[in-house]
Structure 1
Amino acid sequence: MSHLLDNLTVHPDCRHFRGDLPCRPNKTHGYVCESCPVYAPVTSRVLIIKLGAIGDVIRTTPLLRRLRQERPGCFITWLTHTPAILPQAEVDEILKFDFASALQLQARQFDVVINLDKEKEACALLNTISAKEKFGYALRPHDGVAWPQNQLAEHKFLTGLFDQVSQANTMPYVQEIFELCGFDFRGEEYVFDTHEDKGFNWNQLPSSGPRIGLNTGCGDRWTTRLWSDEKWISLITQLQQAGYSPVLLGGEAEDARNRVLHATTGAAYLGTFPLPQFINLMHQMDAIVTQVTMAMHISIALRKPTILMNNIFNSHEFDLYGRGQIVGPNRECVCFYRGTCQLGTSCMEDLPAEKVLQAVAATLPAATILR
């Protein structure tokens, strides 16, 4: 049998190389390895394991900036439950977590593997994938529990185990994961796709006054974060009177509520959309009012001034990058990371609309944007 590779130059170390299909430069320009002008040898291979939730995946993306800086020419693979949320131009290989992905990753070698999840399957992968350096959480073989891979992961590990430690923490999440990887955090921003290239038509959006996106939901896990319809109606009315244009935002779970708020106040509501279109809709806003939820992470990633309504979480966890404010109820919350209120009525009812309006005005004066 002839050895075909002896007669043809192949660069399997190039970041464009596929192995199973022609690479993009070959398909687009007809380039071959021997004389390829875009040959880009990979200097190191990095695997990030961050499966979910979507918001946590988004707020992990600042690591991409630092990895590119510290390891020029690195090839980054990311394993997740939600591939669509990652910036495809910035991650070389995006894999959806399933048996096939896990199987092939276990047969490969990496220079660095970072696991930021404590789920047993994620920790087991850190154990079984070959790498020169490993960071994050591993699976202890004798009892099957998540455990810090090294001392760098201990702080973030302990804040997830004990409420007292979590409440005393003063580091934002992004700083914690940077330190877990052995980096100092230097204010690296999120890496995110605005989906502007999709050409969405937003002619129905109001064109006068700053658009204030109001994300009215918070998911169904910690419903102690919810604000009542009466509070939203009061905020919308006051925003309108102050010269702002409120725009209601949400998914299927918020659709019924947003329709009621639209009918009651006349605030703009365009309906629900697939995630890429929803992201681009948020990109049309001048500022966002939201609870701690996926929309909060999207707003920060889009570099929008963010007014964050928070009660049950440690406010130090959230870095708004100097854009926006965190506002909380007028009485202290006693339900740290709880889904039901111990006192019967959520303290969110003690967050007046006027306080949120003041935060909006301080962050984005009504006269600053005229269309």
Structure 2
Amino acid sequence: MSELLAGVVVRPDCRHFRGDIPCRPNKEHGYLCADCPAYVPVQQRILIIKLGAIGDVIRTTPLLRRLRQEYPAAKITWLTLTPAILPQGEIDEVLKLDLSATLHLQAREFDVLFNLDKDKEACALYDTIRATQKFGYRLHPQYGVAWPGNELANHKFLTGVFDQLSLENRKPYVQEIFELCGFEFRGEEYVFDTHEDKGYNWNVLPQGSPRIGLNTGCGDRWTTRLWSDEKWISLITQLQQAGYAPVLLGGEAEDERNRRLHAATGAAYPGTFPLQQFINLLYQMDVIVTQVTMAMHISIALRKSTVLMNNIFNPYEFDLYGRGQLVQPDRSCVCFYRGTCKLGTSCMEELPAEKVFAAVQASITVS
């Protein structure tokens, strides 16, 4: 689709065309639309709405691989609250949810829209953005709550609103998302940036021994996932005695704990870092031990062997892609998706350090 404006050919259907500033082929090579060898006409326009949290955005990226197979000439737009986490160059247009992005999208037309969030604003956009095909969640027209847009969304919708059904679920999250979008999940890997090209210097990390990253925090929403300092110290000691190099990982919320653990054990603690640098720090590890946190999603996305300590979530929700081990407390958890323990003491204290250590050893052999 070309248009002639005062004698100049303009191709707004090209994947590279911006409309407000020069496109990359023009900026880098001086190409004009009339004879541009980089011209790629858009055949389909696809919108993904996946706002947050960061971990859920990361574990939705396998969908990009299938979309590029099914729609190789598509222009893919992704609306999110966390644009920095998405891989640059893999998505044609990344928009952060705000008023300007909303107005912009509501004035456009898409061939396919995928809304993968139950947030009311995401569901409202499902209803107000024009698209030939729509998948995912919409607003219930009478009651204003999230509602399946079609039958494909029923399973993921129901497991999200009834604990009993969630506990019975045997499908990993990524498989559920694929099926919601009308695809069969075939083990597609995450699409993620290691940030290895940023030139970060990791001379502070131990050399010569397998590095075992220990992500010691779990956020402040579900603190029933926390493991005590005593358990971490026991694990660190076993790792050191076996010749491994434990590395303490975390953000500002874990800084005080990691300093304590470093002082008690001598385990390496490089400090806290901005998100991209933190991702690259995890990339330097051979195995990553973590609870269900953002670091878990990053570890899986980086294709690291992951030792996942889980108690309050359905273990079938997590797909480690055959890399690593999932370990749970010896006592069955009775606090499904709860932030406080009904019994007073979290069952995480019934997860022995020896059990986690054995999982690390098993993960090292397959990494």
1:356 aligns with 356
Instruction: Please give the alpha-carbon distance, in whole angstroms, between the structure 1 residues aligned to 2:281 and 2:169.
Output: 34
Q: Secondary structure at the match of 1:160?
A: helix
Q: 8 Å contact 2:4–2:10 — kept in the other structure? A: no
TM-score between the two structures when normalised by the length of structure 2: 0.98
- TM-aligned CA deviation for residue 141 of structure 1: 2.2
Instruction: Please give the alpha-carbon distance, in whole angstroms, between the structure 1 residues aligned to 2:60 and 2:4.
Output: 43
Instruction: Please give the alpha-carbon distance, in whole angstroms, between the structure 2 residues aligned to 1:121 and 1:269.
Output: 40
Q: 8 Å contact 2:213–2:287 — kept in the other structure? A: yes
- TM-aligned CA deviation for residue 25 of structure 1: 0.6
- TM-aligned CA deviation for residue 63 of structure 1: 0.3
Instruction: Please give the alpha-carbon distance, in whole angstroms, between the structure 2 residues aligned to 1:300 and 1:293.
Output: 11
Which residue identity lines up with residue 306 of structure 2 in the other structure?
A: T
Aligned residues: 365
1:14-44 deviations in Å (ceiling 9; x for gaps): 0000111111110111000011011011110
1:95 aligns with 95
Which residue identity lines up with residue 284 of structure 1 in the other structure?
A: Q
1:84-143 deviations in Å (ceiling 9; x for gaps): 000011011000110100110000000011011101000000000000000000011221
2:129 aligns with 129
Instruction: Please give the alpha-carbon distance, in whole angstroms, between the structure 1 residues aligned to 2:152 and 2:91.
Output: 24
Q: Secondary structure at the match of 2:178?
A: helix
Instruction: Please give the alpha-carbon distance, in whole angstroms, between the structure 1 residues aligned to 2:348 and 2:167.
Output: 19
2:276 aligns with 276
1:190 aligns with 190
4+ long deviations beyond 4 Å? none
Instruction: Please give the alpha-carbon distance, in whole angstroms, between the structure 1 residues aligned to 2:208 and 2:194.
Output: 23
1:201-238 deviations in Å (ceiling 9; x for gaps): 00010002100000000000000000000000000000
2:343 aligns with 343
Instruction: Please give the alpha-carbon distance, in whole angstroms, between the structure 2 residues aligned to 1:48 and 1:324.
Output: 30
Root-mean-square deviation (Å) = 1.1
Distance 1:10 1:279, change over 3 A: same
1:111 aligns with 111
Instruction: Please give the alpha-carbon distance, in whole angstroms, between the structure 2 residues aligned to 1:33 and 1:286.
Output: 47
Structure 1 residue 43 corresponds to structure 2 residue 43: yes
1:56 aligns with 56
2:289 aligns with 289
Structure 1, 17-26 or 302-311: larger mean CA deviation? 17-26
Which residue identity lines up with residue 331 of structure 2 in the other structure?
A: R
2:332 aligns with 332
1:221 aligns with 221
Instruction: Please give the alpha-carbon distance, in whole angstroms, between the structure 1 residues aligned to 2:193 and 2:289.
Output: 20
Which residue identity lines up with residue 96 of structure 1 in the other structure?
A: K
Instruction: Please give the alpha-carbon distance, in whole angstroms, between the structure 2 residues aligned to 1:94 and 1:284.
Output: 28
Which residue identity lines up with residue 49 of structure 1 in the other structure?
A: I
2:157 aligns with 157
Instruction: Please give the alpha-carbon distance, in whole angstroms, between the structure 2 residues aligned to 1:261 and 1:354.
Output: 18
Instruction: Please give the alpha-carbon distance, in whole angstroms, between the structure 2 residues aligned to 1:76 and 1:159.
Output: 28
1:241 aligns with 241
Instruction: Please give the alpha-carbon distance, in whole angstroms, between the structure 2 residues aligned to 1:338 and 1:186.
Output: 32
Instruction: Please give the alpha-carbon distance, in whole angstroms, between the structure 1 residues aligned to 2:328 and 2:256.
Output: 26
Which residue identity lines up with residue 356 of structure 1 in the other structure?
A: V
2:200 aligns with 200
Q: Secondary structure at the match of 2:212?
A: strand
Which residue identity lines up with residue 187 of structure 2 in the other structure?
A: G
- TM-aligned CA deviation for residue 322 of structure 1: 0.2
Distance 1:4 1:184, change over 3 A: closer
Instruction: Please give the alpha-carbon distance, in whole angstroms, between the structure 2 residues aligned to 1:306 and 1:188.
Output: 17
Percent identity among equivalent residues?
A: 77
1:22 aligns with 22
1:265 aligns with 265
Q: Secondary structure at the match of 2:57?
A: helix
1:252-280 deviations in Å (ceiling 9; x for gaps): 00000000000110000010000000000
Instruction: Please give the alpha-carbon distance, in whole angstroms, between the structure 2 residues aligned to 1:218 and 1:31.
Output: 50
Q: Secondary structure at the match of 2:325?
A: strand
Instruction: Please give the alpha-carbon distance, in whole angstroms, between the structure 2 residues aligned to 1:69 and 1:112.
Output: 15
Instruction: Please give the alpha-carbon distance, in whole angstroms, between the structure 1 residues aligned to 2:302 and 2:88.
Output: 16
2:12 aligns with 12
Instruction: Please give the alpha-carbon distance, in whole angstroms, between the structure 1 residues aligned to 2:181 and 2:24.
Output: 32
Instruction: Please give the alpha-carbon distance, in whole angstroms, between the structure 1 residues aligned to 2:32 and 2:274.
Output: 39
- TM-aligned CA deviation for residue 363 of structure 1: 1.1
1:272-330 deviations in Å (ceiling 9; x for gaps): 00000000000000010000000000000000000000000000000000000100000
**Is there any run of 5+ residues in structure 2 with no aligned partner, and where?**
none
2:176 aligns with 176
- TM-aligned CA deviation for residue 146 of structure 1: 0.5
Instruction: Please give the alpha-carbon distance, in whole angstroms, between the structure 2 residues aligned to 1:198 and 1:289.
Output: 25
